[in-house]
Structure 1
Amino acid sequence: MELIINHQRKFFGEAPASLEELMQLEAPGKSKGIAVAVNNQVVPKTQWPSTVLRDRDFILIITATQGG
């Protein structure tokens, strides 16, 4: 499976079963301060487990940072 994550192509031999599984791979241990959009649609965190990813989906992950 090919996913485009933050404008970079990533290939997965075994596709993540859901957006939640992908986020465990991409941002392990982070659960707060993250916003995710799939194909330009923001996905609320409550819907991550039920959001199925498809080949060539465009995923944007934004993380909040502290400081200036």
Structure 2
Amino acid sequence: MREALDARRIRPVRIALQNQRDDLLAFAGVLDEKLAAIAQRANVSDELVRAACVLRRKPRTSPACAT
């Protein structure tokens, strides 16, 4: 288990994620629905909408943004 590598830093994060599990999963479901609605309105695939979101958060200097 990775926690043994650095328990002081990993354990609090693991516990926080564990405690918020249901809220995080609910948020992921809402996000999926909203992205699907955007894709449907724009008449494009869900994958294209997700790819646009990933590119949007990358710095302009990222090779992923090069055309």
In which range does the TM-score fall when normalised by the shorter chain?
under 0.3
Q: TM-score, normalised by structure 2?
A: 0.20
Larger Cα-atom Rg? 2
Q: TM-score, normalised by structure 1?
A: 0.20
Bigger share in helix: 2
Bigger share in strand: 1
